[in-house]
Amino acid sequence: MYENIRKTLAFYGIECNQSYYLTFESPLKDSPLKTLPIDFYAFCICTEGEIEVEINQNTFLMKENDFIFAIPSTTIRFKRSSRDFKMNILFFEKNYLIKNLANPFIIEKTVMLNRDTYTIIRGNQKTSIFLTGFLNNIDSKRNEKGRYKDEIIRTMIIHLILEIAELSHSNMNESSKENPNISDVYIQFKSLVVDHILENKTVQFYAQKLNVSNKYLIEIVKKASNKTPHDIINEILIKEAYVLLGNTTLSISQIAYQLHFNSVSSFGRFFKKHTSFSPSAYRLMENLKH
């Protein structure tokens, strides 16, 4: 079971009751080593010193101005750090950005994740100051009062993600040489699932679209992401379900139909298996009334 923001921060003695967490003083320094299989999005930028970090069993030495962007199901372990190490951190939950968002696949469509579930970029002082400026603006806004504060912060985070995507694309050629496991077939598969998730959720459908066998597609996806095609399809299907549940003009039965489930109960079982709560419980929790 992946750890959410609250559980992860509780390990470091920090309380968090929001769907996002922002700090300019890293809680990781001098903490016990622990592997964190995260179930949220994470943006970390090293502002001083250096830290050794293990991501999906790959070890990197992050230095000043380097940054990481990681999506749910990434495994991170922060190891040794220098005495002067400082890091700015922004975490946000899986469904935080997709509330009231027309395009729930904004991160997938940027193709910014040059290592499947994360990207790590060697930055410079100019880039570091630029990205930290976004965090400063988010920090200022969260301390203000206002009717649309959450919506404004959500928009700020989306803007930050797009800026990271621009930086990631400028580094994409070099990164692809370092990581040959992310094949064109795998990237095309993920793009097809995003485009056709409301039409079909079978592996065979996407294999036929790519003109490859089911077995070959399974091998490619497993090699590139350590997941099965079904895992990828289910992750994207859950994201679409979140968006549809946010549309209060739709009943849960209508949503089940749009997602091509045989019944409301089968959709409910699927949703609860992947989120730990039922569709109706999610709407109640988010104050979404049909």
Task: Strands of 27-180 (E only): list them.
Answer: 35-37, 40-48, 50-55, 58-63, 67-70, 75-81, 86-93, 118-121
CA dist., res. 240 & res. 134, Å (int): 28
* pLDDT tens per residue across span 246-271: 888 889 999 999 999 999 999 999 99
* The CATH homologous superfamily of the domain defined by 184-285: Homeodomain-like (1.10.10.60)
Q: Could you tell me where in the chain the CATH 2.60.120.280 domains are found?
A: 5-178
* pLDDT tens per residue across span 218-246: 998 888 778 899 999 998 898 888 888 88
Mean pLDDT value of segment 50-62? 88
CA dist., res. 3 & res. 231, Å (int): 18
CA dist., res. 156 & res. 141, Å (int): 10
Tell which residue, 126, 53, 114, has the closest CA to residue 89. 53
CA dist., res. 187 & res. 195, Å (int): 13
Q: What is the pLDDT of residue 261?
A: 93
Q: Could you tell me where in the chain the CATH 1.10.10.60 domains are found?
A: 184-285
* The CATH homologous superfamily of the domain defined by 5-178: Regulatory protein AraC (2.60.120.280)
In sequence order, what are the beta bridge partners of 273? none
Q: What is the pLDDT of residue 129?
A: 93
Would the pLDDT of 32 be above 60? no
Q: Between 172 and 281, where is the model more confident?
A: 281
- Average pLDDT of the chain, as a whole number: 83
Label residue 120 by pLDDT band (50, 70, 90). Answer: confident
* pLDDT tens per residue across span 87-114: 999 999 877 877 656 566 667 666 556 5
